[in-house]
Amino acid sequence: MPILPTIEEEGKLSWLRQLWHYRLQFQSLTAAALVFVGSGMRLAWSIFDTPAGKFLNSYSTHNLMMSWFIGAAFGALLAALFVQRVTKNVAYTSSGFLLLVAGILNLLLPRHFICACYSSVSVGAAYGLTQVQALVTGSEMANKSIRGMLLSCERIFLWLGVCVQVFYTRLWYTLEPVERGYTMHIDQLHGILLAALGVAAVILSLSYRLESPLLLLRQERDMAVSDTLKQLNGHAQSGTELMRLREDCHQLHNSSDWERFTVGSLDSCWQRWSRRLLPLLKVLFLRCFAALALSLPYNRAFLVVSWHGLECDMNCLYWLAFCGLLGSVSGALLVDWQGRRKLCSLSLFVAGIVIVIVGGVFEHLEAVKKTYYDINLQAIALLMLLFELIVAAGVAVPALVYTGEAFSVAHKARCLAGVLILEQALHLGLMAAAFEHSLRDSVFFFTFGGLSFVFGLLVFMLMPETRQLTLYECLLKFKKLP
């Protein structure tokens, strides 16, 4: 199918004017943003503010730390069953109620192990449900000029939740000494915040009624498609521009018919499977690499280094959380301006150099069997913060945007769920290795560095540039549809 001709684009808008002009598109993710904040808080509670000491049995502590990731995989599996078939509010309201249940459990029984596990699983399931729905709906509702910024809201608000958790935990223990006792357990405050976010997410999801134009096309509601496009892209849009947007939606909707045609064509079996699997593998490897910078082994290594290098009197992971948030915001502003491929490949090469230096220091310490007090680790701690900033801005954000652009309409929800499930499996595997002390820090960082260079080369050679392209044009880049 030939690409439809496009009219000349309007003059470029500044970031603030884009936020205002496409405000209804950003508002479509407000409920999801609150769920991501709550998910980030629970994630920080699990691996940043490690619950060791809350429960004396290390086996119980390990199960508690893994519960969030198990819940996220389960939520993604559930999302694959109904996302793209029903309204987006089903996922968002369900996630809001899951946050509410988790908050109530924390509020009523903050010291009970089983309740803490169920609470983490509930929040993780809310995250899995919401991420799949948000990537599907966000990519379909976003204008091509701000799609990267809109989809990167997931990273921004997840890191915002991590920052909220680690900062208020630090303030709690700083301003209220242990000797004086507490009128409220700190996990009860955590539960109150989760419950409030859940209620707010339910209210916002029910108050925002606009749906994805592609969902309306699948439901054969043609009149509603025009009204939705007019509201999403501003009432001041010209009739010609709205007509072009409508034709783009029809073109993308009909791409599933072209995909079925190519499956039944004379292409070889290898060509058909490569067309389906290569986009999935590209996105999966990139997402898994970005997940390494959020993993438990990396956080624990930074925790040890920061104690001695930054001379922290307690948990210093709030610096890591702040770098993740700052990097995500920076990546959101750059991904639609500089493009996905250039930003990602350059970031991978720079991050590889940084992390290999860090790995060399850890290998030296392990070889000479010196303690961390024998060397000034301030520079290493700063390099690890720089690495987190680079990966959050230049790898995690483009990987997330590619995830929303690489898959066809017919299979997008299932592909997104599969990527998210495998990403959580990687987290669980790294956590198990960290629990068993079977993964040395130097090996982890050198592997990290080697993957940085390999993936940087692969992104530069194999990943398409999808900046300022419609979703159908992105499919042409990824899958070479006719």
> Which residue, chain included where needed, has tokens 């389906």?
276
Determine the Cα–Cα distance for residues 347 and 382; give it in Å rounded to an integer. Answer: 17
Structurally, how many domains does the chain consist of?
1
Domain assignment of residue 215, yes or no? no
The pLDDT of residue 52 is 43
Q: What band does 252 get if pLDDT is binned at 50, 70 and 90?
A: low
The pLDDT of residue 237 is 54
Domain assignment of residue 191, yes or no? yes
Domain assignment of residue 133, yes or no? yes
Higher local confidence (pLDDT), 261 or 333: 333
Q: 430: Cβ–Cβ under 8 A, 6 or more apart, which residues?
A: 292, 295, 296, 297, 439
The pLDDT of residue 2 is 45
Q: Is the pLDDT of residue 133 over 90?
A: yes
Q: How far is CA 33 from each of CA 198, 253, 325, 361, rounded to the nearest angstrom? A: 11, 27, 14, 39
Q: Taking all residues of the chain, what is their mean pLDDT, rounded to a whole number?
A: 81
Angle of helix 397-405 relative to helix 113-141, nearest 10 degrees, comes to: 60
> Which residue, chain included where needed, has tokens 């989809």?
151
Domain of 352? Answer: 26-210+275-479
User: What is the tens place of the pLDDT at every residue in 253-270?
Assistant: 565 544 554 444 445 566
> What is the percent of the chain where pLDDT is above 90?
37
The pLDDT of residue 270 is 61
Q: Is the pLDDT of residue 359 over 70?
A: yes
Q: Is the pLDDT of residue 334 over 90?
A: yes
Domain assignment of residue 1, yes or no? no
User: What is the tens place of the pLDDT at every residue in 10-44?
Assistant: 446 666 777 777 888 888 889 999 999 999 999 98
Tokens at residue 126, please?
A: 């809310």
User: What is the tens place of the pLDDT at every residue in 384-416?
Assistant: 999 999 999 999 999 999 998 888 887 888 999
The pLDDT of residue 248 is 62
Tell me if 248 sits within 8 A of 372, measured CB to CB: no
How many residues can be counted in the chain? 482
Q: Is the pLDDT of residue 1 over 50?
A: no
- Region 210-232: what's the mean pLDDT? 74
Q: Is the pLDDT of residue 272 over 80?
A: no
Determine the Cα–Cα distance for residues 227 and 250; give it in Å rounded to an integer. Answer: 15
The pLDDT of residue 36 is 96
The pLDDT of residue 218 is 74
Determine the Cα–Cα distance for residues 25 and 432; give it in Å rounded to an integer. Answer: 40
User: What is the tens place of the pLDDT at every residue in 38-62?
Assistant: 999 999 888 776 554 455 456 677 7
Determine the Cα–Cα distance for residues 392 and 444; give it in Å rounded to an integer. Answer: 19
Domain assignment of residue 11, yes or no? no
Domain assignment of residue 9, yes or no? no
Angle of helix 186-207 relative to helix 89-108, nearest 10 degrees, comes to: 160
> 431: number of CA atoms within 13 Å, CB side?
25
> Which residue, chain included where needed, has tokens 């072209």?
258
Determine the Cα–Cα distance for residues 355 and 445; give it in Å rounded to an integer. Answer: 6
Element holding 94 (H helix, E strand): helix 89-108
- Region 305-326: what's the mean pLDDT? 80
Tokens at residue 110, please?
A: 């903050």
Q: Is the pLDDT of residue 380 over 60?
A: yes
User: What is the tens place of the pLDDT at every residue in 177-208?
Assistant: 554 555 677 888 889 999 999 999 999 999 88
Higher local confidence (pLDDT), 297 or 1: 297
Domain assignment of residue 324, yes or no? yes
Among the ranges given (139-143, 369-373, 466-470), the one the predictor scored with the smallest mean pLDDT: 369-373
Q: How far is CA 257 from each of CA 83, 85, 140, 320, 423, rounded to the nearest angstrom? A: 20, 17, 18, 46, 30
> What is the percent of the chain where pLDDT is above 70?
80
Tokens at residue 473, please?
A: 């044009």
The pLDDT of residue 440 is 81
Q: 327: Cβ–Cβ under 8 A, 6 or more apart, which residues?
A: 388, 389, 390, 391, 392, 393, 394, 396, 397
Domain assignment of residue 245, yes or no? no
CATH number, domain at 446? 1.20.1250.20
157 closest CA partner among 173, 134, 139, 186: 134
The pLDDT of residue 9 is 44
Q: Is 221 left (phi over 0), alpha (psi -120 to 50) or beta?
A: beta
